[in-house]
Structure 1
């Protein structure tokens, strides 16, 4: 019967060197909360405070009674930082402030994480400050025989809003042909700099173009 050796989590007091060399596991006491991780995880970003700490560089960090490194920082934001070093992704609870994680990432000098958080914050700021869309309306006059074709061939973001019957305009054979006012609209999205994200093109209508009565914006 063969028994496989398994590497056990170190007992209290094994936060630094083990017999014969460095221990694989490292304990960190961050603001009173103890985190247990591997030396490989902490050394993932070579220029970071955590990498220098676990490689034995002379940094000002005392140890508690269990041998864990004492770090006087907020443990709330340390979890996402440690997880980023583990798998390279930033995962935050919905109620966690990105500014707090950024502050800690800058303290620990984790460059890739700093860039990710700043990009997220800039994208969020742009979304908040984006100018609401402007609605442009066109009122088109058309005859009854043109109505179906005109509505079915509208494109470029224009949509039908309202149809108003304005009565008969002429006699076609034995039947009177009614005329209509067709109201169509389109959204124009603008950036904070006032540049429209799409051009203001006219509604596409049939070859027999109805009369364009007026153009107004809201």
Structure 2
């Protein structure tokens, strides 16, 4: 608000006053200077699109990738596999171990992604890699064991080669033997003879069924029941080229006993 001060003049009348001074008091807007002191815990940020003063607006740089990463990427016949160097180095004499060591004698190329190029069947590489991971031979039903053996020999994994050969040999023996067959015998005896008959059976024979024929007769003052005892033993597939089958009587008696 303006203030008006009037003082009397020494040379004129009182009504001819002269304004000696006219002072205007106007409000003052004080703008504090930008403080350059940083406060702990506060991060300067850019305002209205301009970078902040006294600090950097950019994020910290990412840490560079460590050399000699433990992960390895393989391109096997166009299919990618990712595993660790520790897995591939299980067998020091294998091809994969030498690959991880960057053996100069191996002419191994890499594709545009940095994966090692291996010109082999990826379908059979799965059992190879899984064996190196957990030490067990697992082969899917749709894979041929001979194909796994071929890959194990290529990668020069001696322990896996031995396991696959043993499995192939076991399967061949099982196929050549064929299904197990049995020969049956039916023995008729009285009740008091059962214990002795079972205890005196020859080696290889085993008890199968006991069938009561439902007849009894008096022997002295006691009733004696009769039984049919069915026993069996394993039989080789052939004897002099002739295959021996269980008799029809044994089959009928066995079926009759299962219904009783």
1:32 correspondence with 2:55 = no
Number of the residue aligned with 1:188? 234
Is contact 1:130-1:192 (8 Å) kept?
A: no
TM-score (norm 2): 0.56
Which 5+ residue runs of structure 2 have no aligned equivalent? 1-62, 247-260
Number of the residue aligned with 2:144? 97
Cα distance in 1 for partners of 2:220, 2:239 equals 56
Mapping 1:149-160, distance limit 5 Å: 149=195, 157-160=206-209
Q: How many residues align?
A: 176
Number of the residue aligned with 1:72? 119
Cα distance in 1 for partners of 2:113, 2:119 equals 16
- Give CA deviations for 1:151-194 in whole Å, capped at 9, x if unaligned: 876875222265557886xx52367756x462422131548999
Distance change >3 Å, CA 193–CA 31, structure 1 → 2: farther
Number of the residue aligned with 1:204? none
- Give CA deviations for 1:81-117 in whole Å, capped at 9, x if unaligned: 1121122122233323222221111110111111111
Distance change >3 Å, CA 98–CA 162, structure 1 → 2: same
SS of residue matched to 2:206: coil
Please, which of 137, 143, 159 is the counterpart of residue 112 of structure 1? 159
Which 5+ residue runs of structure 1 have no aligned equivalent? 1-7, 11-17, 195-215
Number of the residue aligned with 1:62? 109
CA RMSD of aligned residues (A): 3.4
The structure with the larger Rg is 2
TM-score (norm 1): 0.65
